[in-house]
Every structure is written in structure tokens, then in C-alpha cells.
Structure 1
Amino acid sequence: MWTLSQMVCQMILVCLSVSDIYFRKIPAEILLLTNLAAVIYQIMIGQMDPWLIAGGAAVGGVFLYISKVTCEGIGYGDSWAILILGIFLGIWKLMEVLAGAFFILSLASVFFLARKKMSRKQSIPFFPFLAIGYLLQVLAGGVKG
């Protein structure tokens, strides 16, 4: 059974996936609001160990650093979303979502390259894969947040 927080998180990920696919851009205002919402959620409702939340935020920080170093090889919006999910889910649940997202992304990349639908230099929007990774983990019972 889905919780309200899971439904809201999935809905936000799907809406931002659409924005990422069509516009290749994520509105910073929405990321700021969801970041604030994740922090408020953890303060008001969260029952997670603060160290797990800090670990999840640290993973997001590492992705933001990678975005800066690679001149947005991984977009800032994608990295910021990972930071937000880290605050919302904690480090271990975030790792489950990221494992699913990167696995599905690798399958899609191999498929598109094999079908010659894209070249190695093209980028793929990452938000849809975050949404799929989150969905898979909720369905598998791995994400309770």
C-alpha cells in the first residue's frame, strides 16, 4: 500500500521527468520547494536516524560536486534531486533508488546505442530513471519513506 508521502514523491518525480524530457531543464523553484519540503518532512514527521539523513544528503553533495567538476556531465538539477531524495529517504534507501535508476539507464543506453538511435556523445534525461528507480523500490517494498 502506498503512503501519501510516497505518492507525492512519485508524482513530483514524474512531473519533473516530463520537464526534463521536453525542456531538458528542471525549474530551480520547484527543486527549492521540494528541498524545503524534504527538510520539513524530516523535522516534523521523519522517524529516521539523523546520521542516515546526513549520509543521504552527503551523497547528493558528492553528485553536486561531480556536476561542477564535469561542467554538468551530470546536470545540477539531477544532482540536486539526488540531494533531495537523500534527505527524504536517507542514505541506504537512496542507494537502492540510485542502483535501480542507473541499472535501467544502462539498459536504455545499450538499447539506444544498439538501435543506432543515438550516439555516445548525446545525453539522456536522468529524471525519468530516478522516477523509475523510485517506483521499482516502492513496489519491491524497499522504500518506506
Structure 2
Amino acid sequence: METALTVIFGLIIGSFLNVLIHRLPMGENVVSPPSHCPRCHADIPFYLNIPLLSYIFLLGKCRSCRGKISPQYPLVEGFCAFSFWLTVHSYGLSLQAAASAVFICLLIALAAIDIRHMILPDELTLSGAALFFIYSFFNPEINQLEAVLSGLGGALFFAGLYYFYLKIRKIEGLGFGDVKMALFMGLFLGLHRLAVAIFLASLFGLLVGIFIIVSKKKNLKLALPFGPFLSLGSFVSLFWGDAIMAWIGSFWRLP
């Protein structure tokens, strides 16, 4: 029962995230008006607004205009449900699980918005930083000073990359949104897991960039949003960062 309720709750939150992802970058209210088709603007009745199932039932098309529904909708809902299940499976029903679920929701929203609009909204990054700073005072397992230093360290690292690339290449290699995203990542993950997240994000970004350049014959000036890679790296590090650090550390042990 606990698993089923967790998955259902994850699907519902995933449905809300889709609304947030679509409306926030355009400055629209995320609460009203009710859900509607972004093409024909026809209202979606509640019985056709069931997370994941409605997409399958409608065969990925709007009932009114028959326009294609973006696969983003079922992907976000399904991944959110899986993430909530994994969170409860890892941390049980606890404050840590709730905070992790909020962290993951921010990662999902930021990744999707960055893919679609190449921006990381302050409403999410700075709100996340403020929220996790406050959270650090309510979790006795978190050292507030370490959390703050981790957040500032992540932000300063990306700020340094931002200005270095700007000075050398005279163009922005990273957006300043990545700096703010690293701030809330560090506040929640801590220094070690933040380092793992950044390493994985860089690795994922490099591999995807090479694949696109080789397969589609793009040039080296190809612009890729880095937010999705930071989100993926943070997600992996949240659950397996400590294990990855231990595995890396095993190579430095003396026989």
C-alpha cells in the first residue's frame, strides 16, 4: 500500500511539474487557468487529465485538435513517480525523504525548462537555495557550516568557470543560472556528493556533446544546456554518491 500511494503521489506531483515547466518561463500563473491544450487552448476535463494514463488512452494526441502531446508529459510524470518510490525506498517516510523529493522535483523542472528554453529560472534555483538553507537547521545530521560552504563552493566554482571562459573566448560558455543551481545543489548534497554530481554532469555532457558532434556533424561551437546534466549528476549522487566516493577512494588505498 505504501508503495502504491508513493507512486500515485509521484504521478500527481509530476503532473503539476509539467504545468510548472510549461507556464513558469512564460510568466503565467501555475495554478489557474485549468489545464488546457497548449495548441488549441481547449480545456482538459479532469477525467482526461489523469497522469500517465491519459497520455496512453489518448494515444499521445489532444482530444480536441488531435495535435501531438509532447512526450515530456509522460516522461516527467513517470520519472517523478519512480523518483518518489526510490526516495521512500532509500530513506523511508522521513524528513530526509521529503526534502529529497523536493530536491528531485527542482532538478526535474530545471532540466526540462533548460532543455526547452535554455534558462534556469531564479524562482527555482534561489528558492531552492533558501529552502535547503532553512532545512539544514531542522536536520540534526547536517552541519550548517559545511552545507553553506558546500553551496558557496559550488557557486564559486561555476562562477570562476563562467568568467574564465568569458575572458578567454569572449562568449558565455555557461549561463549564470548554472552558478545559482550549483548553490542549492551544494547546500543539499554537501561537499563530497556535490563533487560527484559535478564530475558526473561533466562526463555526461562531454559524452552527449561528442555523440551529437560526430553523429550530426555539428561544429565545436554547439550550445548545449548544462542544467540537465547537473540535474542528472545530482540525482545519481543523491542516492549513490557516497558509494561512488568510496569506490574512487578504494583506488587510493595502500595494499
* Bin for the TM-score computed over the shorter chain: 0.7 to 0.9
1:104 aligned partner = 204
131-140 vs 71-80, which deviates more? 131-140
| 2:150–2:186 CA contact under 8 A, matched in 1 | yes
Q: Which residue among 10, 16, 19 is the counterpart of 2:113?
A: 19
* Unaligned runs of at least 5 residues, structure 2: 1-85, 88-96, 167-171, 244-255
Paired amino acid for 1:133: G
**Count of residues paired in the alignment:** 143
Verify the 8 A CA contact 2:193 2:238 in the aligned structure 1. no
Q: Normalising by structure 2, what TM-score?
A: 0.51
Mapped to 2, the partners of 1:139 and 1:43 lie a distance apart of 22
1:124 CA drift (Å): 0.6
Task: Name the structure 2 match of 1:126.
Answer: 226
1:124 partner SS:
coil
Alignment of 1:1-145 (within 5 A): 1-2=86-87, 3-45=97-139, 47-53=141-147, 54-71=149-166, 72-116=172-216, 118-140=218-240, 142=242
Label 1:111 to 1:125 Cα distance change in 2 as closer, same or farther (>3 A): same
Q: Secondary structure at the match of 1:43?
A: coil
CA distance in 1 between partners of 2:200 and 2:139 (Å):
26
Task: Pick 1 or 2: higher relative contact order, CA cutoff 8 A, min separation 6.
Answer: 1
Query: One-letter code of the match for 1:6?
Result: S
Contact 1:57 1:91 in 2 (8 A): no
Give 1 or 2 for the bigger CA radius of gyration: 2
Residues 193 and 241 of structure 2 are in contact (CA less than 8 Å); yes or no, is this contact kept in structure 1?
no
CA deviations on 1:75-105 (whole Å, 9 max, x unpaired) are 1111110111111111111011111111111
SS at match of 2:100: helix
CA pair 51-80 structure 1, distance change in 2 beyond 3 A: same
Q: Which runs of 5+ in 1 are unaligned?
A: none
